[in-house]
Amino acid sequence: MIPELYFIYDSHCPWSYASLPLVNALEKAYPEMIIHVWHCAHYDGSDSAGYKQMDDAAHQSTVKFGQEHIRFVDSPKNSTMTANLMAWLQNKQPQKTLAVLNALQKAHFIDGNVFGCKHDFNALIEQFKLSPPNKVFRDELSDEALYTQSDIQELREFIGTNAFPVLLLAADDNATLLNHSLYLADPDAIVEAVKRELK
């Protein structure tokens, strides 16, 4: 049976950003693996992760944060449009999902792009030759994003946590919650951990 990886994240979460290299390492090591990239739409414009979480993520992982992001790190974040885009992409062009997420998070955490209006997505849309519908750029979750939230809720009930990011490996009849915090400083180490799980 082909192994599957479920990655629950928020595009505006520094810990999700710090965990993305782990997903990239697994995708490279296991190109046949089916990877589900599910945006949990946590940030709704009412709060932010803040400087401390960003600083902790920077010190415990391999990712960098740009000055443009740091300047506004304590400003409220809203990932609704990004959740809509990623849900649409997962349904329409799943093969592009991981590459788009990498570019999104680089634009957000390095270049300071807040992804708060349609214009903020233009460069990304052009780069990946996407044609998302206008409903993606609303301030409320689209039907596709709500379906993703429903899938996430089912998975959260199964694993018994609402925390994110989450990396869950499923193979045959087994499901293993991977402790991403163990591998943030050395993303390639998760490849060995998964190899042991798949034996």
Domains of the chain and CATH, by start: 35-178 (3.40.30.10)
Residue 194's identity, in one-letter code, is V
**Region class of 114: left (phi > 0), else alpha (psi between -120 and 50), else beta:** alpha
pTM: 0.95
pLDDT digits (tens, 9 = 90+) for 127-157: 999 999 999 999 999 999 999 999 999 999 9
Mean pLDDT within 33-46: 96
65 band by pLDDT with thresholds 50, 70 and 90: very high
- Alpha-helix runs per DSSP H in the chain: 14-29, 50-60, 67-71, 80-92, 97-109, 122-127, 143-159, 189-198
State how far the Cα of 143 lies from the Cα of 180, in Å rounded to an integer: 30
With beta carbons less than 8 A apart as the criterion, state whether 41 and 11 touch: no
How far apart are the C-alpha atoms of 82 and 188, rounded to whole Å? 28
Tell me: the pLDDT tens digits for 166-195? Answer: 999 999 888 999 999 999 999 999 999 999
pLDDT tens-digit map of 84-116: 999 999 999 999 999 999 999 999 999 999 999
